[in-house]
Structure 1
């Protein structure tokens, strides 16, 4: 039986190549949180509050696989065609 991985800090998410993307329901601004940032690495996810940088509304977080630059570049190249 495999043990479940505990994701209690932002650094735990980054270690497992997961990221939190925060979306503002008011203006639609999106931002991916860098879990490797020194100020966030050891900070607990539970109870974290997210505010939009543009309008100040409460952000809605979602957790997903961290997208790599190669994937982003390939997606961008497809859109240019």
Structure 2
């Protein structure tokens, strides 16, 4: 049984079928990170800080499957 390595950079998310969403602790704003953006492609996922675009509070990242995020976006 072989295990795949966990994604280390944003470029590793798409081949793994994952995407990252960030939820604001303060206002509840929710956003999906665009892992295809050239600025982020080679950036490491671990150790990053996320800030809410609306209120500036700390954002909590979570990994999920791409189809889950599409269903949530349709709501």
The TM-score, its normalising length taken from structure 2, stands at 0.84
If asked which structure has higher relative contact order (CA below 8 Å, sep 6+), I would say 2
Q: How large is the RMSD of aligned CA atoms in angstroms?
A: 2.0
In the alignment, structure 2 segments of 5+ residues that lack a partner are none
The unaligned stretches of length 5 or more in structure 1 are 77-81
- Structure 1 length-normalised TM: 0.78
Runs (4 or more) in structure 1 with deviation over 4 Å come to none
Larger % of helix: which? 1
CA-to-aligned-CA distance 1:14-59 (integer Å, 9 cap, x gap): 2222011000010110000011111111100011110000000000
